[in-house]
Structure 1
Amino acid sequence: MSPLRGIALKLTAVILFVVMASLVKAASAIPTGEVVFFRSFFALPVIIVWLLWRGDLVAGLRANRPELHVLRGVVGVGAMGCNFAALTMLPLPEVTALSYAAPLLTVVFAAVLLKERVRLFRLSAVGTGLLGVGLVLWPLLTVSRVDDTALVGVAFILTSATLTALVQIHIRRMVRTEQTSAIVFYFSLTSTVLALFTLPFGWVVPTPAEAAILVGAGVFGGIAQICLTSAYRHAEATLLAPFDYASILFAILIGYAFFAEVPTVQMILGSSVVIASGVAIVLRERYLGLKRVRARPNMTPQG
């Protein structure tokens, strides 16, 4: 384990995902299904090269339960498509902040679907975090600013967050039988195939500049996925999780520099509340995990 290397890889992944989102936003004239195709298809060569370099290509191509990968692909591509659609309708910082609802919803779904025990602390943190999401939404939905585009954009990003949370629950089940490399590879493969079903809905021939942007989104997305996966080989998930929230800083900077998007006070306050809630949950889980580890030496052989 090398925690510093893990943190460096996680931050690199976070930055690259924001860059990918920025490229998707820059290609807003391209149909969303076509963007999903480029994002998925051009990530595949990057992933294959990574698997070859690791000597893990065989594991990456072995699917013990293919139906799990198909389901992960269907739900995951829905989450990706909704996120990309939201980027064409809402400012980058707002989309980034609202996507933080996903880990909060994951706690709820874990309790409902996996029957995980959720204590009062986590429930309180989730409730507080959802209030933060409401703060972010408020300036988008006030009577003076509300329009159909904002409403649809909000619906898309909240749907994306919900589907992302469901994907996280599904992956928790998948890792019991599937290798991480297989999950990464087959998601890109299945999302590429599924994106082709949107062809009848009006794909366009991109300009050279648009094509470069779309290919870049795929390459950056693939590299980001690899960095994210590699980060967890060097550090614990509870240590790395809070660094997800660094994405809001890069989203604000890129949104302001390239899209002239100025974050609202409510967005910053709401994001701060959501981030604080998420970090509180992570730190609490880390504390309980350490507490369980310390208690094991004192347990009898029967437990």
Structure 2
Amino acid sequence: MNKAAQYPMLVATLGIMFFSMMDAVMKGQALAMGTYNAMFWRMTMGALIVAVLYLPTRPVPASGRVLKIHLIRAALTAVMAYLFFFGLTRVPLAQAIGLSFIAPIITLFLAVPLLGERIGANAKLAAVLGFGGVMIVVGGELLAVDAGSDLLGMTSILISAVMYAFNLILQRMQALVAKPLEIAFYQNTIVFMLLLIGVPFAVSWPANSLQWGGAMLAAAFAVGSLMLMSAAYRQAEAQRLVVIEYTAFIWAAMLGWWFFAEPVTARTLLGTGLIVLGCLVSARGGSR
């Protein structure tokens, strides 16, 4: 593989690293402030950051199909992110990321009708391996509910993962018609405006400098990740890049262990390994 072909994969890997760091910060924020407030203040900071970067360039406002894609993806992101961050408050970070790993495999199948990409036997095998991996990760919680089980949190993560699969498709569509900074501006601004609906009912000010700093840090990671991923998806097909999503588990396991003292169980590692194997089969097999 030449350097030109490697470049989008390296950019996507860096983007996933930033995204995983944002997840770790948001887990702490959501535990301290609640899911809505963690999201609202992150998006507030994110909207300010991208406005400062984007508006001085005197951009032409998006319209037509481009604006439609911006709106659809932002609305999807708002619901998807809320469900994911809610789930993060109830399950370990590494386990949450492991459960979300069904999204890239779903994306491969969505790429057929929505992006016109071909899919074959290898992708179907990948889906089976991915499903088996999820069953191993969720395992005990599906078979028995006890003091350590949290089906609500896991259900939120899984629903969010399905939505994230559609989000990856939209990310490819969006990257083909808009530049990374424009995407970051519209994503953050539209989601922020949607979250304003809940302000009269749920908003509260960050309680201290740590929460303010967390909101700013999460926003910076999110904006950086969004721009990097948009740049990568602008240069490569979704089916090539979805495999990079699985590097998130490495960061999630490390960050969850370091910051939240979350153990990485053998079951989580085994299940995630099976999911990663499924993704590698899919990526290696092409459209056969």
When normalised by structure 1's length, the TM-score is: 0.81
**Correspondence list, 1:169-180, <5 A:** 169-174=169-174, 177-180=177-180
Q: What is residue 12 of structure 1 aligned with on the other side?
A: 14
| d(CA) in 2 for partners of 1:188, 1:31 | 20
Shift of 1:165: 1.3
| d(CA) in 1 for partners of 2:238, 2:173 | 17
Q: Is the 8 A contact 2:84 2:160 kept in 1?
A: yes
Q: What is residue 190 of structure 2 aligned with on the other side?
A: 190
Query: Is 1:269 the equivalent of 2:267?
Result: no
| d(CA) in 1 for partners of 2:108, 2:69 | 21
Shift of 1:160: 0.6
The superposition leaves residues 48-107 of structure 1 with CA deviations (integer Å, 9 ceiling, x where unpaired) of: 455479x6x526x43333333222211111111111111111100011111111111223
| d(CA) in 2 for partners of 1:6, 1:168 | 15
- Report the CA distance shift for 1:220/1:178 in structure 2 as closer, same or farther (over 3 A): closer
| d(CA) in 1 for partners of 2:116, 2:265 | 38
When normalised by structure 2's length, the TM-score is: 0.84
The superposition leaves residues 101-130 of structure 1 with CA deviations (integer Å, 9 ceiling, x where unpaired) of: 111122333446667653222112112211
| d(CA) in 1 for partners of 2:98, 2:143 | 18
Q: Number of residue pairs matched?
A: 283
Query: Is 1:83 the equivalent of 2:84?
Result: yes
- Report the CA distance shift for 1:229/1:212 in structure 2 as closer, same or farther (over 3 A): same
| d(CA) in 2 for partners of 1:17, 1:139 | 28
Q: Is the 8 A contact 1:111 1:117 kept in 2?
A: yes
Query: Is 1:39 the equivalent of 2:42?
Result: yes
- Larger displacement relative to structure 2 (10-19 or 245-254): 10-19
- Whichever residue aligns with residue 43 of structure 1, its letter is G
Q: Is the 8 A contact 1:238 1:283 kept in 2?
A: no
Q: Is the 8 A contact 1:23 1:213 kept in 2?
A: yes
Q: What is residue 162 of structure 2 aligned with on the other side?
A: 162
Q: Is the 8 A contact 1:2 1:235 kept in 2?
A: no
Shift of 1:229: 2.8
- Whichever residue aligns with residue 12 of structure 1, its letter is L
Q: Is the 8 A contact 1:44 1:222 kept in 2?
A: no
| d(CA) in 1 for partners of 2:234, 2:184 | 14
Shift of 1:144: 5.8
Q: Is the 8 A contact 2:12 2:228 kept in 1?
A: yes
Q: Is the 8 A contact 1:135 1:269 kept in 2?
A: yes
Give the greater-gyration-radius structure (CA).
Answer: 1
Q: What is residue 71 of structure 1 aligned with on the other side?
A: 72
Taking only aligned residues, the RMSD between alpha carbons, in angstroms, comes to 2.9
- Report the CA distance shift for 1:125/1:80 in structure 2 as closer, same or farther (over 3 A): same
Which secondary structure state, in structure 1, belongs to the residue aligned with residue 64 of structure 2?
A: coil
- Any gaps of 5 or more consecutive residues in structure 2? none
| d(CA) in 2 for partners of 1:233, 1:107 | 17
Which secondary structure state, in structure 2, belongs to the residue aligned with residue 206 of structure 1?
A: coil
- Larger displacement relative to structure 2 (88-97 or 130-139): 130-139
